[in-house]
Amino acid sequence: MTKNSLQYLKGVGPAKAKLFEKLEISTLTDLLHYYPRTYQDRRLNQPPNDYNSSQLTVFKGRVLNGREVPARSVLIFKAVLEDEKGRQIECTWFKKRMFGRFRFDPFYQLKKDFKINAEVWVIGRPENRNNFFGDKINVDEYYPISDPQCALHAGRITPVYALTEGLTNKQFRQFMHEALQTDTLNKEPEILPPSLLQKRKLLGSAQALKGIHFPGSLTELDAAKARLAYEEFLLLATAWGIKRTQTKVLEKGYRYTLKRTLLTPFRQNLGFDFTNSQKHVINEIFRDLQSPRPMNRLLQGDVGSGKTVVALSAMLLAAENGYQSALMAPTEILAEQHFITFGKLLKSLGVKTAILTSSTKAAAKKKILKELAEGKIQIIVGTHSLIQDDVQFANLRLAVIDEQHRFGVRQRSLLKEKTAKLDLLTMTATPIPRTLALAFYGDLEVSTISELPPGRQPIKTESATEKLAFMRVAQEVQNGRQAYIVYPLIEESEKISAKAVSEEFEKLKTVFPQFKLAMLHGQMSQEEKEAVMADFAAHKTDILVATPVIEVGIDVKNATVMVIENAERFGLASLHQLRGRVGRGEHESYCILVPQHTGSVAKERVDIICRTSDGFKIGERDMQLRGPGEILGTRQSGELEFKAGDFFKDRDILTWAIQDRDELLSQDPSLSQPQHALFKARLIELYEKNWHLIDLS
């Protein structure tokens, strides 16, 4: 057993170690770097503050009496405590009555701990909300003063960890406390150069770890967080900084020239003129493509702003030059729709397109792979399937990623890996505020489509009951329009959601017997999905009942009502995207949110959507409510997850990190000076493995 092993801790055996594995903690070092999810202020007589959830009651007192109370259906234990100031509180515990089966007294421990005159901390939630420091609470945790561990849990700012079943916060705090006493903490390397520690007045690494887990004060907590956040930001900023210098000198070795053999007929066949904003971003993109360096551009534009034709213009420029291009979409349905759109727009141009997804049949796939490798296919549309190993291109030059926020960082970089010097265009309707994007990506250029095509009417958005929503659906369908009714994903599982939607679908058929309904969910086969979408697009069906598979991209102009069931379960960006499925044609359109339960954040989201139509503002609020990691798609992929830092709240620290990164790299571009050795080692450990884009050797 190494000194860094978890089993070095008292009470951690193989079974516990398994639970820790689930949290990706396999060593003491990992444990020390597993930061609290939040904190509870369990100091007494402290003014309320940020770390305190207002509903938490923390009370230290002497037991006046503690006893089992006779009751019929449940077992109840009550204890009354009194503090120094004479304030009293009544605590209640319930246990299920188990007839004839229990062998021991369920209140045995409570009776022992709540003897008259014993001193105890209790932490709980008031039974009656209006009676805050009143009398009755349900106890979450309690700690007898006589317990030597008491000071870890009560009378302090107490860490609360995100854990897994089988581990309690009480145990975890004790393990953490023990881990902090081991040699591992003292051996924790200081990776930040001393000059930066001094300049920014940051805590040392060991001190910061102590402070993040068991802060003695809010000031100490802030200092610990600042140090750890700074470290994370500096590492990431430096990684991107290095990448930036590397791509700056990179020459892609080919150029595009504007021939207009395809672009001119394309514009003539389009049926509309580009908006000024579209023209502007097309110019930016074309300038990149004509330059000797690889493009890395983010195209942001609100839902419905017309990003697809912009991307297609770039892809046609590639085709004019004899190059292949690929468009990767996050869902099959969206890929399918792009494929159909491209087919229509390119019909008379003689450009060869194809689609590749995981449900492409083996024979068809074989043919497509062959034609890609031979360079016969000029434009390919697809899903993740495009980045699989067996896909080889003759001369892929341009990759477009639609709805890039839906992809993990790794997937994005994999596509880029296909050929190192690829031109990359990523598109999103969930914009990242510009400064953040620049800081985050370092070498990313950003183009913005700032206007919608002319003639769009704002979508009337409201929160209403299901009954009212269905009345609107009936009315619109009677007038010849179409509607979507969307149900949320349940527990992240498409399977269960599909079942739930199927059940609702049967019910809805009886609600709308006079209309044609169709259903769409992720468990259906590609053919089924295609058929359903095609029927809906051709108005062979009136109402589409769906899971959020239709969230992105779907474009049916005759659809004018979007009903979102259980709206509180959707994030802001999803709600905005779903709403963007209607209001695409000349008809007035409606988005009706039908919330079920409304917590405060959920209610806030629904309110924001009803009030705001600007996707950029919604994006900012979304970031505040959810945190940027999730939005950037990094949380799931885990590569760029910030543990201590918060992009949104820690702007100042982010700014420091960017400034210091620039200084650091200008003094020591390859980080070869001895005082930067540990920092460099950590950088390599963090990013080189996962992140093929950076070469730190």
Residues forming the site for Mg ion (CB under 5 A): 553
Q: Are 76 and 117 in contact (CB under 8 A)?
A: no
In the list Mg ion, ligand ADP, none, the entry touching 303 (Cβ below 5 to 8 angstroms by class) is: ligand ADP
Residue (271 or 674) nearer to ligand ADP, CB: 271
User: Closest distance between ligand ADP and the C-beta of residue 330, in Å?
Assistant: 12
User: Which listed option, ligand ADP, Mg ion, none, makes contact with residue 274 (CB within 5 to 8 Å by class)?
Assistant: ligand ADP
566: its two tokens: 């259980």
Among residues 484 and 679, whose Cβ is nearest to ligand ADP? Answer: 484
| Closest separation in Å from C-beta 412 to Mg ion | 17
Q: How far is CA 149 from the centre of its chain?
A: 37
Contacts of 287 (CB under 8 A, 6+ apart): none
3-class secondary structure per residue, 332-387? HHHHHHHHHHHHHHHHHHCCCEEEECCCCCHHHHHHHHHHHHHCCCCEEEECHHHH
**Beta carbons within 8 Å of 368's beta carbon, 6+ residues apart:** 354, 356, 360, 377, 380
* Cβ proximity to ligand ADP, 274 vs 515, nearer residue: 274
H/E element holding 299?
Answer: strand 296-301
- Residue 158 binds: one of Mg ion, ligand ADP, none (C-beta under 5 to 8 A by kind): none
Q: Which is nearer to ligand ADP, 94 or 272 (CB)?
A: 272
Minimal CB distance to ligand ADP: which residue?
306
Contact of 353 with 339, CB cutoff 8 Å: yes
Residue 354 CB, nearest approach to ligand ADP (Å): 20
Closest CA to 355 of 392, 388, 328, 394: 328
Beta-strand pair 460-463/590-594: parallel
Closer of 102 and 272 to ligand ADP (Cβ): 272
CB of 308 to ligand ADP, least distance (A): 3
Among residues 380, 387, 376, the alpha carbon closest in space to that of 412 is found at: 387
The minimum distance between CB 380 and ligand ADP, in angstroms, equals 18
Q: Which is nearer to ligand ADP, 19 or 309 (CB)?
A: 309
* Best CA proximity match to 431, nearest among 420, 444, 418, 443: 444
| CB 71, min distance to ligand ADP, A | 59
Check: CB of residue 155 under 8 Å from CB of residue 141.
no
Distance, CA of 88 to CA of 61 (rounded, Å): 8
Q: Which does 357 bind (CB under 5 to 8 A by kind): Mg ion, ligand ADP, none?
A: none
CB of 466 to ligand ADP, least distance (A): 28
CB of 325 to ligand ADP, least distance (A): 16
Minimum CB distance to ligand ADP smaller for 307 or for 472:
307
The span from the CA of 352 to the CA of 359, in Å, is 20
Identity of the residue, 274 or 286, whose beta carbon is nearer to ligand ADP in the bound complex: 274
Which parts of this chain interact with ligand ADP (CB under 6 A)? 272, 274-275, 278, 301, 303-309, 429, 453, 555, 584
453 binds, among Mg ion, ligand ADP, none (CB under 5 to 8 A by kind): ligand ADP
Closest approach of Cβ 555 to Mg ion, in Å? 8
- For tokens 């234990």, what's the residue? 77
Query: What secondary structure does DSSP assign to 60-126, as a single string?
Result: EEEEEEEEEE--SSEEEEEEEEE-TT--EEEEEEEEE--TTT--S-TTHHHHHHT-TT-EEEEEEEE
Tell the smallest beta-carbon distance from residue 536 to ligand ADP (Å): 15
Question: CB-wise, 276 or 502, nearer to ligand ADP?
Answer: 276
Task: State the residue for tokens 């009212």.
Answer: 468
Q: Say if CB 516 and CB 522 are below 8 A apart.
A: no
| CA dist 509 → 265, 483, 516, 521 (Å) | 46, 14, 8, 17
* Residue 566, contacted partner among ligand ADP, Mg ion, none, CB below 5-8 A by kind: none
DSSP-assigned beta bridge partners for residue 543: 483, 517
Minimum distance of ligand ADP from residue 216's CB (angstroms): 51
Q: How far, in whole angstroms, is CA 397 from its chain's centroid?
A: 30
Question: Minimal distance in Å, beta carbon 586 to ligand ADP?
Answer: 11
C-alpha distance from residue 200 to each of 193, 203, 222, 667, 673 (Å) = 11, 9, 14, 18, 20
Q: What angle do CA 497, 582, 503 make, to 5 degrees?
A: 25
Residue 306 binds which entry of Mg ion, ligand ADP, none, CB below 5-8 Å type-dependent: ligand ADP
Residue number with CB closer to ligand ADP (303 or 328): 303
Q: For residues 80 and 309, which CB has a smaller minimum distance to Mg ion in the complex?
A: 309
- CB 222, min distance to ligand ADP, A: 41
124 binds, among Mg ion, ligand ADP, none (CB under 5 to 8 A by kind): none
C-beta of 294 vs 304, nearer to ligand ADP: 304
Q: Which does 408 bind (CB under 5 to 8 A by kind): Mg ion, ligand ADP, none?
A: none
Shortest CB 306 distance to Mg ion, Å: 9
Q: How many residues does the chain have?
A: 697
Residue closest to Mg ion (Cβ): 553
Cα–Cα distance for residue pair 592/611, rounded to 1 Å: 13
SS3 state of residue 302: coil
How near is the Cβ of 273 to ligand ADP at its closest, in Å?
Answer: 6
Would you say 235 or 537 has its CB closer to ligand ADP? 537
Q: Residue 61 or residue 304: which is nearer to ligand ADP going by CB?
A: 304
> 305 is in the binding site of which of Mg ion, ligand ADP, none (Cβ under 5 to 8 A by kind)?
ligand ADP
**139 binding partner (options Mg ion, ligand ADP, none; Cβ < 5 to 8 Å by kind):** none
d(Cα 415, Cα 420) in Å, to the nearest integer?
9
Residues 6+ apart with CB under 8 A from 654: 233, 439, 645, 647
The entry of ligand ADP, Mg ion, none that residue 522 binds, CB within 5 to 8 Å by partner kind: none
Helix axes 526-537, 332-346, angle to 10 degrees: 50
Can you say how many angstroms the Cα of residue 409 is from the centroid of all Cα atoms in its chain? 12
